[in-house]
Amino acid sequence: MSIVSQKTTKHTILSIKKKKNNAPIVMITAYDALFASLFAPHADILLVGDSLQMSFGGQSDTLGATMDIMLYHTKAVCQGAPGALVVLDMPFGSYATPEIGLANAMRVYQESAATAVKIEGGKERAALISHLTCNGIAVMGHIGLLPQNVRAEGGYKVKGKDADQEAALIQDAKALEKAGVFCMVIEGVVSEVATKVAQSVNVPLIGIGAGNGVDGQVLVWSDAFGFFNEFKPKFVKRYLEGATLIEEAMATYAKEVTARQFPDATTSY
């Protein structure tokens, strides 16, 4: 065996591409080693989303995430899930030009074990994405609702609501496919339109709020597992009432400390 061996992963860029018109792709966010280790056995892709700035940073949008923050969390995720295909979500401003984008994407490969980066944007990002893929970076695209445009657009707006938007989305998907993405996220798009977009390219489209006619699904884990009582957009399904479970456990701990029931003989030296 070589002293330099490639890490063995459950999935590669190629095996994800092959899932098109095959089994749907399971993607979920992960931001730390602990949860990454719990999700990895059941997921095809772990996304270190810049949504961490909202869900864990407590901010009202994702724009404050930086390369240093994303790399810190990506290293933790890779550490917790050594065989997983991990994707780092390139933060706002980190790919403003092809040169800046390549320098930052190179950092991802040099400083972490992530397999790919994700870039928000349609045909306006095709030149940048080509520049990355030509330089050996695996890129996941992201079209439709682009959270990094929230301030410029004045809110999170569902896309694909008229014929012009539908045509633009198909153009975006084709431009990204040509630029060499191995798959792309399609977010916040009318279901019938998202299905048509998925059928217009040969790489997988992974939906969030894009219906069931695409090639896979992604959710922010803390949404899917019910950790937010205030954030309940239509596309989220709660598979667990996480917040309730934690609140109940925390209340019990507090009650036992106050009542001097904890620690007892079994938990004391």
Position 262 contacts ligand MHF (CB under 6 A): no
Looking only at residues 205 through 224 of this chain, which bind ligand KIV when binding is defined by CB under 6 A?
208, 218, 220
* Closest alpha carbon to 117 in 99, 93, 133: 133
Please state, in angstroms and as integers, the Cα–Cα distance from residue 211 to each residue in 165, 197, 231, 269, following that order: 17, 12, 19, 55
* Binding-site sequence positions for 3-methyl-2-oxobutanoate: 50-51, 89, 118
Position 49 contacts ligand KIV (CB under 6 A): yes
* Closest alpha carbon to 70 in 130, 16, 30: 30
Q: Is 247 a catalytic residue?
A: no
| Residue whose CB is less far from ligand KIV, 47 or 71 | 47
Please give the residue whose beta carbon sits closest to ligand KIV in the complex. Answer: 49
| Residue whose CB is less far from ligand KIV, 50 or 177 | 50
Task: For the CB of residue 227, give the shortest distance to ligand MHF in the complex, in Å.
Answer: 9
Which secondary structure element, helix H or strand E, spans residue 246, and what is its range? Answer: helix 242-258
234, interface contact from ligand KIV, Mg ion, ligand MHF, none, CB < 5-8 Å by kind: ligand MHF
# of chain residues touching ligand MHF (CB under 6 A): 14
Q: Hey, how many other C-beta atoms are within 10 angstroms of the C-beta on 136?
A: 9
- Please tell me which residue in 153, 166, 177, 187 is annotated as part of the active site: 187
Phi, psi of 35 (to 5 degrees): -70, -35
Indicate if the alpha-carbon torsion angle 125, 180, 88, 188 is positive or negative.
Answer: positive
| Residue whose CB is less far from ligand KIV, 175 or 205 | 205
Q: Hey, how many other C-beta atoms are within 10 angstroms of the C-beta on 107?
A: 17
